[in-house]
Structure 1
């Protein structure tokens, strides 16, 4: 997510990272289009959106194009690619593979995920606006891209490892509800925008690179990324428990 700054760079510079952000929106739309007939491909599209989200802010810093416009566009991209797209994917893949003729109560579960993501983004932007020095050191609540990757890689594990139970509507609905609660929670999670040391940064990107390399080689990279996401959450819960004991 791009930091908010007071002075805007020239439009031609803003266009460079904005094109990366818009590409992420395209991947989100592609995932929505593929969700019904090619769910695994829809998951790969969301992986692409996640990569765009990881690099757009860095591109902005390289070209000197950090701006208020970029921050707002990034949030709009996130609600599409990491809110609507994964919620629709899970809804069509597990909750309601065949669209009902009337109102479907499962839709409320998908909506809860999108709504919690919107609240999480608004809270993040408010906190980021009060910290003009750059990325914050710690996230409060589960970031919406992490929530999206959690449910997306759960879907991928069904195809990669043959875990059929994952497709059970109650399991995927529980995953959506859990992510919704974590997004609006106060759970402290390490920031992947600013690292405390080079070792942590190296480990973070190495794990992601390994997951992506596995995907490129036709190995269960989505399942590996699911394990990495779970490890990230475990670290957050560990921080929360240690602070509760200390307090």
Structure 2
């Protein structure tokens, strides 16, 4: 006979497969938090690697949830909170410690701008995710991509291209600019809507081979190239918006 207790309307147990996406999200959050720990002890390369891993996990957890049909409002909110920590707080603190210095109050202002922009970006995403157009494009730079752009000065230094610590003001302005891109109204591409023409199959395969080679030989240069390619992809929508970001 069915239970008459209204507090037992939900089953006491749930399938593990429905919990799996949330476990992946929590793992990514732990990586972001651990990145902050390594930033505090000046182990910047490890801190960056953890943020990159968190970005990869962020792309996987949503895919797992959709494939397993385990999406939920709870999971979506958890993902946004994790993203704010991993891609709003952790990159800003890392750049501040690495290039701006604890005594650079101006730099800290721009770090606050970046973190606040990340928070606003995720709040807007939560509100707009049910809209049909959200499946075809993002409004503004998504949080993981924003974190990558924020860390571009660090990538440049690690790759031996330029030591950005010699120009902290430029780094601070760059961090603020990336924050503005995150809360901008420009349309950026969503991987869900990406369609690859047949003629591009071979170039993409060869590009993957090159990327794998750089990953194990010049990893930081690979991150610089990826960041610059993404930045170049933002130029057409910025031109279309006639330079208006907000």
Scaled by the length of structure 2, the TM-score of the pair is: 0.81
State the secondary structure of the residue aligned to 2:54. helix
> Residue 99 of structure 2 corresponds to which residue in structure 1?
94
> Residue 19 of structure 2 corresponds to which residue in structure 1?
15
Within the candidate set 216, 220, 223, 2:221 is matched to 223
1:188-242: CA deviations, max 9, x gaps?
2111233134669967898678546533x141x2332332222223223213424
> Residue 148 of structure 2 corresponds to which residue in structure 1?
149
Task: Please tell me the root mean square deviation across aligned C-alpha atoms, in Å.
Answer: 2.9
Runs of 4+ in 1 over 4 A off after TM superposition: 198-213
Separation of aligned partners in 2, 1:206 and 1:54:
23
Separation of aligned partners in 2, 1:32 and 1:205:
35
> Residue 77 of structure 1 corresponds to which residue in structure 2?
82
Relative to structure 1, the CA distance from residue 205 to residue 171 in structure 2 (aligned partners, 3 Å threshold; closer, same or farther) is: farther
Unaligned runs of 5+ residues in structure 2 are: 1-13
CA contact (8 A) 1:13 1:64 kept: no
Cα displacement (A) at 1:160: 1.9
Separation of aligned partners in 1, 2:205 and 2:166:
29
Scaled by the length of structure 1, the TM-score of the pair is: 0.81
Query: For residues 25-174 of structure 1, what are the structure 2 equivalents within 5 Å?
Result: 25-36=29-40, 37-96=42-101, 99-100=102-103, 104-131=105-132, 136-165=135-164, 168-174=167-173
> Residue 234 of structure 2 corresponds to which residue in structure 1?
236
Cα displacement (A) at 1:129: 2.4
Separation of aligned partners in 1, 2:140 and 2:205:
21
Separation of aligned partners in 2, 1:31 and 1:199:
40
Relative to structure 1, the CA distance from residue 71 to residue 208 in structure 2 (aligned partners, 3 Å threshold; closer, same or farther) is: farther
State the secondary structure of the residue aligned to 2:193. coil
Relative to structure 1, the CA distance from residue 112 to residue 136 in structure 2 (aligned partners, 3 Å threshold; closer, same or farther) is: same
Relative to structure 1, the CA distance from residue 184 to residue 20 in structure 2 (aligned partners, 3 Å threshold; closer, same or farther) is: same
State the secondary structure of the residue aligned to 1:161. coil
Unaligned runs of 5+ residues in structure 1 are: 1-9
